[in-house]
Amino acid sequence: MTSKKLVNSVAGCADDALAGLVACNPNLQLLQGHRVALRSDLDSLKGQVALLSGGGSGHEPAHAGFIGKGMLTGVIAGAVFTSPAVGSILAAIRAVAQVGTVGTLLIVKNYTGDRLNFGLAREQARAEGIPVEMVVIGDDSAFTVLKKAGKRGLCGTVLIHKVAGALAEAGAGLEEITDRVSEVAKAMGTLGVSLSSCSVPGSKPTFELSADEVELGLGIHGEAGVHRIKMATADEIVALMLDHMTSSSNVSHVPVRSGSSVVLMVNNLGGLSFLELGIIAEAAVRSLEGRGVKIARALVGTFMSALDMPGISLTLLLVDEPLLKLIDAETTASAWPNVAKVSVTGRKRCRAAPAKPLEAPDSTAAGGAASKQMVLVLERVCATLLGLEERLNALDRAAGDGDCGTTHSCAARAIQGWLKEGPPPASPAQLLSKLALLLLEKMGGSSGALYGLFLTAAAQPLKAKTDLPAWSAAMDAGLEAMQKYGKAAPGDRTMLDSLWAAGQELQAWKSPGANLQILSKAVKSAEAAAEATRNMEAGAGRASYISSARLDQPDPGAVAAAAILRAVLEVLQSQDA
């Protein structure tokens, strides 16, 4: 079965892709009649060496993404995984020669078709009197025994583009650039690994891997690698890659050893997630530094892909300070990353977390009457939530993942464990703040965040006073925070419905002569509101995504909130009795 691709046609996909890049980049132009992209400021290059590269399409952003001041002058693109036509290569050479460049360097990856077609165009151009040189890049470190065809050209070619571009921009001559990049290429190696094959538009995947296999040492055209290994962790695969790349028993190894300074490229072969790419990059840095290798620069991203291949390649380039200056030189190429011009190794990567602000001393002694009452309230709340676990989970299954009871039980057990460590603060503000932090850490999910928000905000009015009007203000503050960040409103079938109903009753605490009896009305209103959620249409939370949008059971969060308020009331009533 062929893979699905977002293309207009298989035959025209390479032309459309290059046209799309040029359409979005004013610094590029197409060469009429050819699949060639050139710098739009070509006329400004009089007296400089021009740099041309290219190859088959399907390796984006290579090579056209690296056209720009300080990198390539132009690119000749073939069809997907197919060498470009000789006529187009020759047309590009003529185009840059006509603006007065003093020579052209062709940077070619080591594949038979590319060598032949670029080589033939070079000979034809030289016959016309145009000075043209060609360097063939082979940076593949996969083969332990060198084959007649030589090492394949891989992602390291992009670094050659950068070095050559910096030299050309600085005014170096054709012979100097050719000699310099030829030497640089000898100190570089690349190795790829993939979780599966890629698929060319209109075709099936180029090879098959079982679920527990990984392909090591593969190229960038969907061809199989040199080894098929068992799936392993990112750390293990990176270590294996670096071992293979740097082993002196491997004829194509990079002579990297302890004390070496390198540029590291972590290249996405096209289909790897950014999450995996970051994990691989960290593993590569850690593994290299563990071997005593200094990482002078690290480039992480997609530089030379193999269509949609879910894999990566690692490139190591041995560098000294003069070479680093060329790597660091400015470029306008859109695909070259904004790399910091400082060493990766030796940099402090972690900043100390800020110290927690000092808490105001608790005005009421811990372990006193108020503190003991707090313990009784919290113990009753915990017992209530643990007893409701199964019911809350059952209610939650209708709307989501059925874990509301489990989440509240986690919170209850966390509070119980906290109480065993010592008496809680007697100050209501400090107590609510401590509970907020505990629930944010231990409860998890949106419930933990909502309770944390509510308690954090509710604590603020209680810092100055703890009378009944202050408790009413605390309820108001908590509800306001929940609405602001949770985006729920009364009537949306959430835990807010119960708390809102209670909060409305507690407004009476702000009037003179108010007493604790108002809390009893508040709890009854909360319970009635929780029951009423069974007839509400979900307007927020996970239940709002249910296709029916109407559920015949009360919201579990609202039920839990009402039960918490009931537990608080029962303890306070027993204390007054």
3-state secondary structure 333-391: CCCCCCCCCCCCCCCCCCCCCCCCCCCCCCCCCCCCHHHHHHHHHHHHHHHHHHHCHHH
Cβ atoms within 10 A of the Cβ of 356, count?
7
Q: What is the pLDDT of residue 542?
A: 52
pLDDT confidence bin for 140, thresholds 50/70/90: very high
Residues 233 and 307 both lie in one domain: yes
Q: What is the mean pLDDT of residues 389-410?
A: 88
Q: Tens digits of per-residue pLDDT, 365-386?
A: 444 677 788 999 999 999 999 9
Sign of CA dihedral 219, 221, 225, 228: positive
- Residue 411, in any domain of the structure: yes
What is d(CA 221, CA 81) in angstroms, rounded to the nearest whole number?
A: 6
Angle at which helix 321-328 crosses helix 156-169, to 10 degrees, equals: 90
For residues 155 and 303, is the Cβ–Cβ distance under 8 A?
yes
Q: Give the pLDDT confidence of 502-550 residue by residue, as tens digits.
A: 999 999 999 988 888 899 999 999 999 999 998 887 666 555 544 444 5
In a domain, 362, yes or no: no
Domain assignment present for residue 386? The answer is: yes
Which CA distances in Å does 543 have to 366, 401, 446, 480? 42, 10, 13, 22
pLDDT in tens, 470-501: 999 999 999 999 999 988 899 989 999 999 99
Q: What three-state secondary structure class fits 55?
A: strand
Asked if residue 351 is part of any domain, the answer here is no
pLDDT of residue 437: 94
Which entry of 221, 244, 253, 408 is annotated as an active-site residue? 221
Q: Is the pLDDT of residue 245 over 50?
A: yes
Say how many C-beta atoms besides its own lie within 10 A of residue 330's C-beta: 11
Lookup: tokens for 505: 């009753």
List, in sequence order, every beta strand (DSSP E) within 198-349: 213-216, 227-230, 261-268, 294-301, 311-318
**Could you tell me which residues are annotated as the binding site for substrate?**
56-59, 109, 114
Beta-sheet pairing, 311-318 with 74-80: unpaired
Token pair for residue 81? 């995984």
Annotated active-site residue 221? The verdict is yes
- Give me the numbers of helices (H) and strands (E) for the chain, helices first please: 17, 12
Residue 478 domain flag: yes
Mean pLDDT score, 329-339: 97
Q: Which of 328, 355, 381 is the endpoint of a domain?
A: 328
pLDDT of residue 8: 95
Please tell me the least confidently modeled range out of 18-27, 283-292, 300-309, 443-452.
443-452
Q: Tell me the mean pLDDT in the region 137-152.
A: 88
Place of tokens 């009896």: 517
pLDDT > 70: percent of the chain: 95
Return all residues near 470 (Cβ < 8 A) that are at least 6 apart: 461, 462, 464
Is residue 63 one of the residues assigned to a domain? yes
Same domain assignment for residues 395 and 498: yes
Q: Are 389 and 253 members of one domain?
A: no
Q: Residue type at 271?
A: G
* Sign (positive or negative) of CA dihedral 554, 557, 560, 561: negative
Q: What distance in Å separates the CA atoms of residue 111 and residue 548, rounded to the nearest whole number?
A: 59
Q: Looking at residue 545, what is its pLDDT? A: 46
CATH code, 257: 3.40.50.10440
- The residue range of the domain holding 514 is 369-574
> Could you say which DSSP state residue 538 is in?
P
Total domains, the chain: 2
- The two three-digit tokens of residue 541, written as one number: 């939370």
Dist CA 158 CA 301 (whole Å) = 12
Q: Please, which residues bridge with residue 193 across strands?
A: 216, 312
The 3-state DSSP class for residue 190 equals strand
Return the pLDDT at 549: 47
Which positions make up the binding site? 56-59, 109, 114
Predicted pLDDT at 21: 96
Pair 455, 534 in one domain: yes
Lowest mean pLDDT among 225-229, 532-536, 549-553: 549-553
pLDDT bin (cut points 50, 70, 90) of residue 205 is confident
In a shared domain, residues 185 and 310: yes
Q: Which of 328, 352, 384 is the last residue of a domain?
A: 328
- Cβ-count burial of 355 within 10 angstroms (0-12 exposed, 13-18 middle, 19+ buried)? exposed
* Gap between the Cα atoms of 367 and 162, Å rounded: 70
Decide: helix, strand or coil at residue 449.
Answer: helix
Asked if 253 and 312 touch (Cβ cutoff 8 Å), the reply is no
**Cβ(13)–Cβ(200) below 8 Å:** no
In a domain, 441, yes or no: yes
**What is the separation, in whole angstroms, between the first and last Cα of the chain?**
77
Stretch 99-113: mean pLDDT: 97
Q: d(Cα 474, Cα 461) in Å, to the nearest integer?
A: 6
Between CA 567 and CA 576, with CA 570 as vertex, the angle to 5 degrees is 145
CATH number of the domain where residue 472 is located: 1.25.40.340
The answer to whether 329 and 171 have CB atoms below 8 angstroms apart is no
Average the pLDDT over 111-140 and give the result: 97
Q: What is the pLDDT of residue 543?
A: 53
- The span from the CA of 183 to the CA of 177, in Å, is 10
Domain end point (choices 297, 312, 328): 328
Is the pTM for the entire model greater than 0.85? no
Angle between helices 404-420 and 428-442 (to 10 degrees): 130
d(CA 331, CA 68): 6
Same domain, yes or no, for 380 and 272?
no
**Same domain assignment for residues 259 and 381:** no
Spatial distance between the Cα atoms of 431 and 435, rounded to a whole number of angstroms = 6
Q: Are residues 121 and 253 in the same domain?
A: yes
Residue with tokens 């000789």: 86
Q: Are 490 and 500 in contact (CB under 8 A)?
A: yes
Same structural domain, 59 and 197: yes
pLDDT at 199: 85
Q: Does 315 share its domain with 376? A: no
Sorted by sequence, the CB contacts under 8 Å of residue 146 that are 6+ apart come out as 251, 252
Rounded distance between C-alpha atoms, residue 3 and residue 15, angstroms: 20
Domain membership flag for residue 410:
yes
Q: Which two tokens stand for residue 395?
A: 């209610």
Residue pair 435/445 in contact by the 8 Å Cβ criterion? no
Domain identity same for 311 and 400: no
Instruction: Kindly state the average pLDDT of the residues 570-576.
Output: 86
| CA-closest candidate to residue 315, choices 272, 268, 271 | 268
Preceding peptide of 63 cis, ω within 30°: yes
Residue 276's contacts (CB-CB under 8 Å, 6 or more residues apart) are: 234, 312
173 and 280 share one domain: yes
